[in-house]
Amino acid sequence: MGTSAIVHQRAVPPGKVRSFARRLRAGDELAYLITLIAAGAIFIITALVFYELYSESSLARHKFGWGFLFSSTWDPVAGNFGALPFIYGTVVTSVLALLIAVPQGIGSAIFLAEMAPPRLSNISTFLIELLAAVPSVIYGLLGIFILVPILEHDVVPPLKSVFGSLPLFQGAFYGVSLFSAGIVLSVMIIPFIVSVSREVLLSVPRDQREASLALGASQWQTTWRVVVPNASTGITGSVFLALARALGETMAVTMVIGNTPQIKASLLAPGYSIAAVIANEFTEATGDLYLSALIELGLVLFGLTFVLNGLARILIITTSRSGGH
């Protein structure tokens, strides 16, 4: 970093500023402009999405105010709308998916980057990236026709016999539930975590590893104390990507979540997510207030993504600090 700054200073002697035209010819200004436009477009698109959601939902916002976030009624006939059960379902399924996918994804990324023979690593990575390319409706169909019967017969009965006393695993299980949706989501987001984290781990400089090994650290100590902390920013990024995917996933979730707007402590109960209700009801929604309420749900999802991303960031910063000391 320091050396390159010095080189740059030498190339342009003080007092002798190159003309704009010459710099343009050298490509500097042009590259600056193009990349600036590309970066600016992202801001503009985000702002436009927010603006559209905000202005189109004005009817529902004025009618329900902040109460929209805390009401559990969703009655299109009476024109009475509340977002709470949908927020609950979205958060619970996404968090459950992360709880399953983060340890599994990071674990397999560490194995593939640090321990597996290169051949195995490359083949596995190819397969994992293939998983990321499977359309979500396929995951939904596999979920309802394959996963749900397995959960119903082989997974939930033992779970209930062990943890049945916890409120999390009480009540009747109909197959479709928050639990099923969380599992389907976790399978869908693992490829994001594995593939990005593996790349980041591989890009940690070799001399870091060699230095650690030379100091007498074991292979695992080197991986856990040196390589992973070095790659932590990138791994965090992969988790955010996965979280964003889980929050917004629509088709796969609606097929296995049960589509029932209710708040039950049990993971085995059916629920509903924000993206699922928008996809389900938007096409046949007649009446301005109804449409406006659905658009406000989109706004809520937008806000929820910000909040959860922020919380995840805080969580990761605090845990990585305590881990470092």
Partner 1 sequence: MRAKFVCLTALLAAALPVAAQTTLTGAGATFPYPMYSKWFNQYHRMHPDVEINYQSIGSGGGIKQVTEGTVDFGASDGPMNDKQIAEFKQKRGCDVLHFPTVLGADVPTYNLPGITADLNFTPSALADIFLGKITKWNDPEIQKANPNVKLPANDLLVVHRSDGSGTTYVWVDFLSKVSPEWKRKVGVGTSVNWPVGLGGKGNEGVSGQIKQTPYSIGYVELVYAIQNQLPYGQVRNQSGLFVKADLASVTAAAAGAAANMPSDFRVSITNPPGKNAYPVSSFTWLLIPSRIQDPAKDKVLKGFLHWMLSDGQKLTGALAYAQLPSQVIAKEETAISKIQ
Token match 């917004």: residue?
Answer: 248
Residue 74 or residue 169: which is nearer to partner 1 going by CB?
74
As a three-state string, the secondary structure of 161-221 is HHHCCCHHHCCCCCCCCHHHHHHHHHHHHHHHHHHHHHHHHHCCCHHHHHHHHHCCCCHHH
> What is the smallest separation between the CB atom of 299 and partner 1, expressed in angstroms?
20
Closest CB to partner 1 among 102 and 176? 176
Closest CB to partner 1 among residues 191, 261: 261
Q: Which residues contact 80 (CB under 8 A, 6 or more apart)?
A: 71, 73, 74
Which pair of tokens denotes residue 215? 């100091």
CA gap 76, 269 in Å, rounded: 23
Give CA–CA dist 99/243, Å, rounded: 11
Binding interface with partner 1 (CB under 8 A)? 73-78, 144-145, 148-149, 174-176, 254-255, 258-260, 270, 272, 276, 279-286
Shortest approach of partner 1 to residue 53 CB, angstroms? 18
Least distance to partner 1, CB of residue 74, Å: 6
Q: How far is the CB of 136 from partner 1 (least distance, A)?
A: 13
Residue closer to partner 1, measured from CB, 88 or 192? 88
Q: Are 247 and 90 in contact (CB under 8 A)?
A: yes
Q: Which residues pair with 75 in a beta bridge?
A: 80
Give the span between the Cα atoms of 200 and 113, in whole angstroms: 9
Least distance in angstroms from the C-beta of 186 to partner 1: 21
Rama region for 2: left / alpha / beta (φ>0; ψ in -120 to 50; rest): alpha
C-beta of 113 vs 148, nearer to partner 1: 148
In angstroms, what is the minimal distance from the CB of 60 to partner 1?
Answer: 16
Beta carbon nearer to partner 1, 89 or 191: 89
Q: What are phi and psi of 108, to 5 degrees?
A: -75, -30
Q: Is 233 helix (H, G, I), strand (E, B) or coil?
A: helix
Nearer to partner 1, 111 or 282 (CB): 282
Coil/strand/helix, residue 315: helix
Residue 208 Cβ, how far from partner 1 at the closest point, in Å?
50
